[in-house]
Amino acid sequence: MKKVLAITLGIVTSVGGFLEIGSVTTAVQAGAAFGYQLLWAILLGTACLVFLVEMSGRFSAVSRHTIVDATRERFGFPFFAIVMVGVVLVFFMVLVAELGGIGLSLQILTGIGFPWWAVPVSFVVWFLMWKGTFGLIENGASILGLVTISFVVAAVKLNPDWGAAAHGLLPGMPGTDKAKYGFLAVSILGASISPHLMYFYSSGAIEDEWDKSYIPVNRFIATLGMTFGGVLSMAALVAAALTFQPNGVEVDTFEQSALLMTTALPKWGFFLFAASMLFTCLGAALETSLAIAYFFAQGFGWSWSEDLTPSKNARFCFVYTIIILLAAVPLLMGIDPIKVTLMSMALTAATLPLAVAPFLFLMNDPIYLGEHRNGWISNTVVAITILISFVLALIAIPLQILGG
């Protein structure tokens, strides 16, 4: 029974980590601008993610160590410190974007601007972490996140041309706007392969006390959970292609994205979109703050668990309290969350090699994994992901410098 319930870890990881403001924004933008043509980027990102998440779970279940633990133990403090600076900076920006996403959802629902929501939203997120247990966050976020299935309903109701959609699963080059196409492809991959998801999942497996017997369960959960997220994100793209393209609308703002389902589901579309964004961004905000706190606690060997009372792991709780507090500041100043989102995705892409390269070593470590080491298929996938992430980094960094 416990193993059946373990599926919620997969769904929460997927709903909060995969489907969040970043992937929805990029998917909707891509659909509006290029129709089905960028579906392949989501497919590729999802495929890489399935493998990486499976590995994170397997690593924790077999070795009883998280990926962060092992990164410090194998590579030593200096390398760990470099990863820490890069990763924590990016996670922080993602957190700002997610809190902003909650604020924007509330803004379109109530008409009150998102800066006003910065403090209440941050407080709620902090309070859930302070009082809640891991199980509550896990189950709550996955149940609420199921509202995103409306994306699939909307996409199907719009009668997409399945042949054309299938064609979009293969990469191609558009006739015009090559630069925008490339930028969106990079952003989609950056939004899909997000490292906080792997750290979160790997820590979650320890919080849920997985052992070797969970290896098959883990494989199933990782595949199903991430595919779930990928399908939802593709559905958002398809719905955007069918809704915005005929009207000539290029989506640049959250207000425009909110119209995603008003054609397909006239009665509830608007509210379903707002609710979907509200819940997924909430899940992602919890997940990202936890990922940051896990990162510090595991890297420095502090006690950590979302289930203990705060004073039992004071430094762990102190980290997320400070981080959430700081994340509210840019929103209070009225910085556009969508801009933060786009920037954080490009930066995620840029720091991806740092986060993914250790996988290649850790997943082949006989001391940690024994006979459960990676086979050649998984190793090839990691190698390809590292290669992709290096290319993404090379593309994303100049883009950032030039202020794209």
Name which of 78 and 216 has its Cβ closer to another protein: 78
Alpha helix (H) ranges present in 35-113?
Answer: 39-63, 67-110
CB of 328 to another protein, least distance (A): 16
Q: How far is the CB of 107 from another protein (least distance, A)?
A: 8
Q: Which is nearer to another protein, 2 or 178 (CB)?
A: 178
Nearer to another protein, 332 or 383 (CB): 383
User: What is d(CA 123, CA 117) in angstroms, rounded to the nearest whole number?
Assistant: 10
Contacts of 214 (CB under 8 A, 6+ apart): 3, 6, 57, 61, 205
Task: Enter the tokens of residue 226.
Answer: 């991430």
Nearer to another protein by C-beta: 5 or 301? 301
Residue 15 CB, nearest approach to another protein (Å): 24
Tokens of residue 372, six digits: 């459960």
Angle at CA of residue 363, ends 360 and 364, nearest 5°: 85
Minimum separation from the CB atom of position 367 to another protein (A): 5
Q: Kindly tell me which of 9 and 274 has the beta carbon lying closer to another protein.
A: 274
Residue 20: which of 158, 116, 157, 141 has the closest Cα? 141
Q: Which amino acid is at 249?
A: V
Integer Cα distance of 343 and 72 in angstroms: 28
Q: Which is nearer to another protein, 163 or 366 (CB)?
A: 366
DSSP letters for 205-243: HHHTT--GGGHHHHHHHHHHHHHHHHHHHHHHHHHHHHH
Closer of 160 and 310 to another protein (Cβ): 310
CB 106 → another protein: shortest distance, Å?
Answer: 11
Q: Of the two residues 109 and 384, which places its CB atom closer to another protein in the complex?
A: 109
Whole-number Cα distances in Å, 8 to 94, 109, 188, 249, 391 = 22, 28, 25, 37, 33
Q: How far is the CB of 202 from another protein (least distance, A)?
A: 15
Backbone φ and ψ for 402, nearest 5 degrees, come out as -80, 5
Among 151, 161, 160, 156, CA closest to 269: 151
At closest approach, how far in Å is the CB of 206 from another protein? 12
Rounded least distance, CB 368 to another protein, Å: 8
Give dist(CA 349, CA 396) in Å, integer.
7
**CB distance 158 to 239 below 8 Å:** yes
Cβ proximity to another protein: between 220 and 361 the closer is: 361
Structural tokens at position 38: 């960028």
Report in angstroms how near the CB of residue 181 gets to another protein at its nearest. Answer: 9
